[in-house]
Amino acid sequence: MTIHKNFKGIEKTVFGRGSFNQLGEIVEAQRHQNDQFMLYLVDNYFKGKDLARQIPAQPGDMVMYIDVDKHEPTTQQIDMIRDSVKATRGIPAAAIGIGGGSILDIAKAVSLMFTNEGSSQLYQGLNLVKKPGIYHIGVPTISGTGAEVSMTAVLTGPEKKLGLKCEWTVFNQVVLDPDLIASVPRNWWFYTGMDTYIHCIESENGILNNAYSHAFAEQALKLCREIYIGKDSGQTAANDDKLMVASLMGGLSLTYSEVGVCHALSYGLSKILGTRHCYANCLAFNHLEDFYPEGVKEFKTMIKQHDIDLPQGLSKDWTDEQVTAMAKVSYNLSHMWNHAIGSDWKDKITVDKIKDLFYRL
Ligand code: NAD
Ligand code: ZN
């Protein structure tokens, strides 16, 4: 018998330019919970900027600015935030993440760790979390990863890079205000947006694709094409509206299907070299024409149109040991290969074949 995924979605969503102004009303509705203060986790980029002044924090609320450029979210970082807040103030009524995928994952994970004991590293994996977390709200400021809708909070721990994945990870509320992504630097706008594009191409091209995942991918791809190809493409207000929606829909598509070869390689790059998710995807996707001929062709058109710098010949600086390690990480993501290649993927894909793919980079 086939077991179909029974996934949990975001409970409440507000979308639109200026919707950030409604955040105050949204958080106040939760103030009665726990120790009745709010914990804002905000990308350090916004410190001193207009958006920081618009955060509806009241006296007694906590606003923490977090630098996400030093490293991707770690279990140690989550434990420290939880422990310090708990020791000084107690348990917040709600955690509100304002930032990109990194901050959204931090908000999700911290929310769960206020109610689950011990280190967050104990909960890396599927359905290991014991209790629902505190109310958590996601406010994306860069679009593409789908972290706003996914049921995972990706953390790097001492042993593994793996998400806290369960129904309770999903945000209770998201606030999608396209004004917030206007300041994203052009390169990031491209790489992060391409994560959505790649989610859709991979979701569509594999055995787990179905009418539900297809409908979201088809629409998100249409939006990506409007944003990144042709005369109306570019980082405009109208396109930022579309990108926020595309990111969400791309995330929903892969939730009900699966990612594929590009993400399998990208995880290898991130794990061994620390390459950031969206950028790693772009580096890999550029060389996957054997698997996704049309998608890669279109991707190259977009790279050219937006004059994006994507380095080549990287692998000449890697040792064979490193490439082998990357290939092993990729090979072990069997659910991705199964989707992309088919249930007989082990007859077709070997660690050596994956190494050859890495050597193309
Ligand atoms: P990010 O949060 O890492 O931010 C990227 C850069 O953009 C940072 O320098 C940040 O300061 C900056 N930035 C963010 N918003 C900005 C704005 N409005 N203006 C100017 N600069 C801005 O970016 P990301 O690519 O969204 O997230 C990557 C992270 O997401 C990784 O840690 C990855 O593991 C995680 N991820 C999670 C999921 C999931 O489903 N949970 C999926 C994919 C990736
Ligand atoms: Zn991705």
Confidence band of 106 (pLDDT split at 50, 70, 90): very high
Q: Domain for residue 7, yes or no?
A: no
Host domain of residue 263: 186-359
Q: CA angle, corner 115, sides to 109 and 119, nearest 5?
A: 60
Summarize the confidence of residues 341-358 as an average pLDDT: 97
Task: State whether 55 and 85 are in the same domain.
Answer: yes
Question: Total domain count for the chain?
Answer: 2
Task: Single out the residue in 181, 201, 218 at which a domain terminates.
Answer: 181
Q: Which atom belonging to ligand 1 lies closest to the Cα atom of 44?
A: 11
Task: State whether 200 and 331 are in the same domain.
Answer: yes
Q: Which of 54, 72, 74, 105 to mutate to test the pocket of ligand 1 (most atoms within 8 A of CB)?
A: 105
Q: Which of 145, 156, 162, 190 to mutate to test the pocket of ligand 1 (most atoms within 8 A of CB)?
A: 145
Confidence band of 135 (pLDDT split at 50, 70, 90): very high
What pLDDT score does 70 carry?
87
Task: State whether 225 and 304 are in the same domain.
Answer: yes
- pLDDT digits 0-9 by tens, 264-301: 999 999 989 999 999 999 999 999 999 999 999 999 99
Task: State whether 272 and 310 are in the same domain.
Answer: yes
Task: State whether 118 and 208 are in the same domain.
Answer: no
Q: CA 113, CA 130: separation in Å to the nearest integer?
A: 10
Task: State whether 196 and 90 are in the same domain.
Answer: no
User: Which ligand is nearest to the Cα of residue 49, counting in written order?
Assistant: 1
Radius of gyration of the chain (CA): 20
Parallel, antiparallel or unpaired: strands 12-15 and 152-156:
unpaired
- Residue 184 Cβ inside 6 Å of ligand 1? The answer reads yes
What pLDDT score does 160 carry?
80
Q: Domain for residue 65, yes or no?
A: yes
> How many beta carbons lie within 10 A of that of residue 304, not counting itself?
9
Task: State whether 150 and 235 are in the same domain.
Answer: no
Q: CA 183, CA 45: separation in Å to the nearest integer?
A: 10
Question: Which amino acid residue places its CA nearest to atom 2 of ligand 1?
Answer: 100
pTM given for the model: 0.96
Summarize the confidence of residues 256-261 as an average pLDDT: 96
Task: State whether 296 and 160 are in the same domain.
Answer: no
Q: CA 176, CA 157: separation in Å to the nearest integer?
A: 30
CA of 278 to the centre of ligand 2 (A): 6
Task: Single out the residue in 164, 181, 198 at which a domain terminates.
Answer: 181
Task: State whether 176 and 230 are in the same domain.
Answer: no
Task: State whether 240 and 173 are in the same domain.
Answer: no
Task: State whether 205 and 340 are in the same domain.
Answer: yes
Confidence band of 66 (pLDDT split at 50, 70, 90): very high
Task: Single out the residue in 181, 208, 226 at which a domain terminates.
Answer: 181
Q: Domain for residue 317, yes or no?
A: yes
CATH value at residue 317: 1.20.1090.10
Q: CA 176, CA 148: separation in Å to the nearest integer?
A: 9
User: Which ligand is nearest to the Cα of residue 142, counting in written order?
Assistant: 1
- pLDDT digits 0-9 by tens, 35-47: 999 999 999 999 9
CA of 279 to the centre of ligand 2 (A): 10
Task: State whether 33 and 171 are in the same domain.
Answer: yes
Q: Domain for residue 275, yes or no?
A: yes
CATH value at residue 19: 3.40.50.1970
